[in-house]
Structure formats: C-alpha cells, structure tokens
Amino acid sequence: MTALPQPRPASASLTIMTQLLFPEHANALGKAFGGQIMAWADMAGGICSMRHSGGTTVTAALDDLQFENPINIGDTVVLEARVNGVFRTSMEVEVLVFAENPATGARWRCVESRMTFVAIDGQGLPRAVPPLVLATPDDQRRSDEAHARRAERLARRRR
C-alpha cells in the first residue's frame, strides 16, 4: 500500500518566473505574441504543479486565459504561479502575468489564467497529489472556487 502524500501549503510551490520581451517574442506592433505568453504561463504553471506534487505533471486543461493589457518589447515579464485547488490526481494552478517597465519600475497586470495539471508516475499513469493546506481564508476561498470550476468542467464534459 502506498503512503498518502503529506499536505503542502500553496506557499511551498509558489513559482515566480521572469523573462525579458525581445523582438522575437513580439508581433509587428511591438507587442508580445499571445502564444509566447501562453507558453511561458504553461511553463510557470508546470513548475508550480511539479513542486506541489513532487514529480512530473502534464497540462490537462486551460480553463481561462484573459489578456488584459499589452506587453511591449523591452518590458520585463513577471509570471506568478500558485496552486489554487487540489483534487485526487490533478490540481488547478493560477498564473498571473505582469509587465514591468525596467526604467521606471512601473508594473501592471496583463494576463490572468487558470490551468489544470495532472500528476503522473514513471509509467505515465495518474498518481495521487498531496492535499493543499488551507492556512488562510484566501486559501479556502481559492480552493472552494477551484472545486466549483472543476465541477463545471466535469459537467460540460459529460454533456
């Protein structure tokens, strides 16, 4: 019998990634390609999910990705990923993307996204994910909302 994984707080897997937006990451208007930002968000979310689960994970779903503000060539891109909710073998990770002007330090939010990652074992089969420690009211709210979104996803899939 396999031991259950020990619960972990969201703070243990918090992931902050920083990139510089170069011309090869941008369109003809000098703004970030959406696909590049999505790839970086997937990478930050993947690292966060691997930290929480203690092993390999794969992206299973991208629920929500909202582009709110542009990112310009030369801006610093800061991605912050945290686990919102944990299920049996999967978890929801929220990734916020900010742009920062390196000359002024001004920072603004550009993208909000939520993704589902599944933990897998060496044979590529789903494996148990450690429970999430809900240490604060914000942790509890995030978890409740993640579980509600999961229920909606599963209901859509059954239709």
Closest CA to 34 of 109, 101, 94, 111: 111
What is the residue-averaged pLDDT of the chain?
95
Does residue 60 carry a pLDDT above 70? yes
3-state secondary structure of 42: helix
Lowest mean pLDDT across 11-15, 28-32, 64-68, 80-84: 64-68
Which residue has 């920083």 as its token pair? 18
Please state the domain extents for the chain. 8-158
- Cα–Cα distance between 156 and 145 in angstroms, integer? 17
Using CB atoms within 10 A of its CB, is residue 54 exposed (0-12), middle (13-18) or buried (19+)? middle
- Cα–Cα distance between 44 and 50 in angstroms, integer? 10
Closest CA to 86 of 129, 45, 44: 129
Please check whether the domain covering 8-158 is classified as CATH 3.10.20.600: no
Closest CA to 92 of 124, 120, 59: 59
| Tens of pLDDT, residues 68-89 | 999 999 999 999 999 999 999 9
pTM reported for the whole predicted model: 0.93
